[in-house]
Amino acid sequence: MIKCLIIDDEPLAVELLEDFVSKVPALKLIATCSNAIEASTILQTNKVDLIFSDIEMPDFSGIEFIKSLDVKPLFIFTTAYSHYAVEGFNLNAVDYLVKPIPFHRFLKAVNRAQELFLLKNEEPKQVAQTQDSPNFIFVKSDYENIKLNFEDIKYFEGLKDYIKIFSTSHKPILTLSNFKKIEEKLPRDTFIRVHRSYIVSLKYINSVQRNRILIDNVRIPIGQNYKDEFIRRIGG
């Protein structure tokens, strides 16, 4: 269960969010607050995993409230004003919902929060598992197994049944494999899938240009299904 808190000074907005939360089995509503001061009191005595917060409120704004937290739960901004969106995402908001909020849009934001919640709670386990993991992989190409250090790999390109690997230590390597097998071997803190045909190393990204990534002089597309997670990983 994801324990959540609603902060909004509009009773009708609170009522709507309460109704939406009640329809999602994974969510458990801890409390509702009309301002950030009340919310601070709730956080002192309750564990909260996810905050739904309005932005323009009495005393201080939802953005100011989130900035004031030393330990930040996951949070989703709910507001009637779209012009705060950039600032909201710069704070690593899970999502930014503009009122009036349709249920399908609320559900999409919650699903994203649930994925992040699961990842967050799996992190200690993953760290423990990877402490003794190798920092390299072996890939078969032609008649040999080639050792590639993770730190040298720039990106992977999918070519039907083959994967082409670009690195600083070898010329491009072609191996008979698929992305599922490759992804299982890669450290998640270094590599990210950005397209159905590309996995890239965050280390070697030179710049991001709209829907493309530049590595060296190669422009790699960012697929629509991977864009949100990529933006989250690079900090908005």
User: From first to last of its 236 residues, what are the pLDDT tens digits of the chain?
Assistant: 899 999 999 999 999 999 999 999 999 999 999 999 999 999 999 999 999 999 998 888 999 999 999 889 999 999 998 888 888 778 889 999 999 999 999 999 999 899 888 877 764 444 444 455 678 998 988 778 899 999 999 999 998 789 999 999 889 999 988 888 888 889 988 899 999 999 999 999 999 988 899 999 899 999 998 888 888 888 75
Rounded to an integer, what distance in angstroms lies between the CA atom of residue 133 and that of residue 127? Answer: 10
pLDDT the model gives residue 81: 85
The total number of residues shown for the chain amounts to 236
Output the CA–CA distances (angstroms, integers) from residue 220 to 149, 166, 215, in the order listed.
22, 13, 8
pLDDT the model gives residue 128: 44
pLDDT the model gives residue 236: 58
Rounded to an integer, what distance in angstroms lies between the CA atom of residue 150 and that of residue 140? Answer: 16
Output the CA–CA distances (angstroms, integers) from residue 130 to 51, 133, 152, 156, 159, in the order listed.
31, 5, 19, 21, 29
Specify whether the CB–CB gap between 226 and 194 falls below 8 A. yes
pLDDT the model gives residue 125: 47
Decide the pairing of beta strands 144-149 and 136-141: antiparallel
pLDDT the model gives residue 213: 95
